[in-house]
C-alpha cells in the first residue's frame, strides 16, 4: 500500500509540473504575439492562435489567455485585410475578411463580423467598377460576380454586371442580370437597360426584314419604358404586317413623344393617315393629310388622299 500511495504522489506532482510548464509556455506565446503586433501582424496571429490552442487545454487556468486571444485574433485578421486592400491585393484581403467573419462569429465579436461583411462587397465593387470604367468587360463581369457571390441581393452588382455583359454582346445573359437587378431594388435603372436592349433587338430585326420580330421586341421595350424609338418601330412593323390599328396608335404615340418629328418626318404622318384610313377613321386621317399637303415630297400624294376622302 505504501508503495502504491508513493507512486500516486509522484504522478500527481508530475502532472502539476507539466501543467505549470504549459501555462508558462502559453503565457510566453501570448506575450510574444502581443509584441509582434506592431511589426508583423501575420506572425502575431500565428502566435496568438498557438497560445489559444495551448491555453484551451488548461481548463480554468488558461481561461484568461483564451478570452484575450479570442478578443484579439478576429481584429487582427481585419487589420491585415485592410493592409492588403491598400496594397491592391484584393483576393487575399477578402480571404482575411472572411476569416475574420468566421472567427468573429465563433468568438462572439459581432462588431468585427458586421464590419467585415460590409467591407467585402465594397472592396469588390470598387474593383469591378474600375474594370468597367476601363472597358475591361470580362474582368468587370468576374468582379461583379464576386460581389454577388458575397451578397446575392446586391442589385447594383447585378445591374452593372448586366451592363458589362451587354457591352460584350452577351445580350441574353445581360437580360438575366438586369432582371435580377430589378428584383433587388434596381427596378427603374434595370427597366431602362432592358428597354434599350429590346429596342436594339427590334432594330436588328428591322435590318433583317423580320417585321414580326421587330414588332415583338419593340413592344417588349415599351413594357419596360415607353419610348419614342420603340413606338416608331412598332408603327413601321405593324403597318407591314397589316395591323393598321396597332400601327396608327404607335405612330400617334411616337408623334406625341417627339413633336419635332411632325416637321422632320412627314413620311410618318403619311403612314399614320394611311393606317387610319384602313381602320375606317377617315376624319382623323384627313387632319393628318392636310398637315402635309404642302410638303415638297409628299404634298401631292397627301392632296390626292384629301380628294379621295372628300375631306372638308
Q: Report, as an integer, the average pLDDT of 22-27.
A: 84
Q: Which three cell numbers stand for residue 33?
A: 504575439
Question: What is the C-alpha separation between 227 and 177, in angstroms, rounded?
Answer: 22
Please give the average per-residue pLDDT across 28-41, as a whole number.
89
Lowest mean per-residue pLDDT among 15-29, 110-124, 240-254: 15-29
Q: Above 70 in pLDDT, residue 142?
A: yes
What value does the mean pLDDT take over residues 275-284? 96
pLDDT of residue 12: 37
The gap from C-alpha 244 to its chain's centroid, in whole angstroms, comes to 41
Q: Which helix (H) or strand (E) holds 12?
A: helix 2-36
Q: What is the mean pLDDT of residues 172-178?
A: 97
Residue 250, classed as helix, strand or coil, is: helix
Sign of CA dihedral 24, 26, 27, 33: positive
Write out the three cell numbers for 147. 460581389
State residue 13's pLDDT score: 47
Whether 221 contacts 198, CB under 8 Å: yes
Higher-pLDDT residue of 4 and 31 is 31
SS3 101: helix
pLDDT tens column, 234-262: 999 999 999 999 999 999 999 999 988 87
pTM: 0.76
Amino acid at each position: 500500500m505504501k508503495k502504491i500511495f508513493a507512486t500516486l504522489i509522484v504522478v500527481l506532482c508530475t502532472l502539476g509540473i507539466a501543467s505549470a510548464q504549459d501555462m508558462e509556455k502559453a503565457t510566453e506565446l501570448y506575450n510574444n504575439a502581443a509584441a509582434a503586433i506592431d511589426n508583423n501582424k501575420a506572425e502575431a496571429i500565428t502566435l496568438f492562435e498557438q497560445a489559444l490552442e495551448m491555453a484551451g487545454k488548461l481548463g480554468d487556468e488558461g481561461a484568461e489567455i483564451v478570452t484575450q486571444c479570442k478578443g484579439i485574433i478576429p481584429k487582427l485578421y481585419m487589420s491585415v485585410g485592410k493592409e492588403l486592400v491598400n496594397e491592391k491585393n484584393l483576393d487575399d484581403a477578402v480571404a482575411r475578411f472572411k476569416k475574420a467573419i468566421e472567427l468573429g462569429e465563433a468568438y462572439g465579436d459581432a462588431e468585427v463580423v458586421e464590419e467585415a461583411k460590409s467591407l467585402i462587397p465594397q472592396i469588390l465593387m470598387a474593383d469591378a467598377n474600375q474594370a468597367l470604367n476601363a472597358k475591361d468587360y470580362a474582368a468587370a463581369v468576374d468582379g461583379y460576380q464576386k460581389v454577388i457571390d458575397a451578397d446575392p441581393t446586391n442589385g447594383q452588382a447585378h445591374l452593372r454586371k448586366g451592363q458589362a455583359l451587354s457591352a460584350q454582346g452577351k445580350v441574353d445573359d445581360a437580360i438575366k442580370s438586369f432582371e435580377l437587378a430589378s428584383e433587388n431594388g434596381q427596378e427603374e435603372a434595370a427597366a431602362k437597360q432592358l428597354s434599350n436592349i429590346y429596342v436594339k433587338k427590334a432594330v436588328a430585326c428591322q435590318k433583317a426584314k423580320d417585321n414580326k420580330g421587330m414588332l415583338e421586341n419593340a413592344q417588349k421595350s415599351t413594357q419596360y419604358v415607353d419610348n419614342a424609338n420603340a413606338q416608331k418601330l412598332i408603327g413601321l412593323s405593324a403597318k407591314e404586317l397589316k395591323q393598321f390599328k396597332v400601327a396608327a396608335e404607335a405612330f400617334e404615340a411616337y408623334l406625341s413623344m417627339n413633336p419635332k418629328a411632325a416637321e422632320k418626318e412627314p413620311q410618318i404622318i403619311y403612314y399614320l393617315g394611311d393606317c387610319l384610313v384602313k381602320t375606317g377613321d377617315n376624319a382623323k386621317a384627313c387632319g393628318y393629310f392636310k398637315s402635309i399637303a404642302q410638303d415638297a415630297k409628299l404634298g401631292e400624294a397627301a392632296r390626292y388622299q384629301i380628294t379621295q376622302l372628300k375631306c372638308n
